[in-house]
Amino acid sequence: MKNNHINQSGDLHMIDISEKEITFRTAKASGEIILNKQAFDSVLQLNNKKGDVLNTARIAGINAVKQTSNLIPLAHTIPISAVSIEFKIEESRSKIHCYATVKSEGRTGVEIEALVGVEIALMTIYDMCKYLDRGMQINNIMLLSKTGGKSGDFIKK
């Protein structure tokens, strides 16, 4: 099996994408965090002592998307056209779902950026609520869909 990140000498390197076609690309990822009732209520009632949890998590997720190439060693710096971080509340289970959608026009995909956005948004919720619940669970981080590029479209089934 060929590994594009290893050169003929066996050294890791960043893949050369300079010859790839520029295409419009999107990716959507999701994940969830389960909190205890007290932490969950502090998020919904906007009375968390650290501030507005979901808006802080949204900004953290957006910033993470823009910083992905600084976090993932072989990821390319890419032009980000749009980032959306959204939350869906599941009150009956004290669960918050996070969705990140990333758009770019470039030579490489935005799947990693979407996944990083979700992870950092959820970790920000954890950070802001840990004084109320150290047992929170971050689960089911996954790519839901991607479009563009040589490999074509993907939709999780």
DSSP lists the bridge partners of residue 139 as 32
- Asked if residue 51 lies in contact with residue 58, where contact means CB atoms within 8 angstroms, the answer is no
Q: To which H or E segment does residue 120 belong?
A: helix 111-129
Detail the DSSP E strand segments found in 7-123: 23-34, 82-90, 95-106
3-state secondary structure (DSSP) of residue 103: strand
| Cα–Cα distance, 122 to 30 (Å, whole number) | 10
Which position has the token pair 């599941």?
A: 90
**Choice among 11, 16, 52, 127 that is catalytic:** 127
DSSP 11-26: -B-----TTSPPEEEE
52 catalytic per annotation:
no
Q: Which residues are catalytic?
A: 127
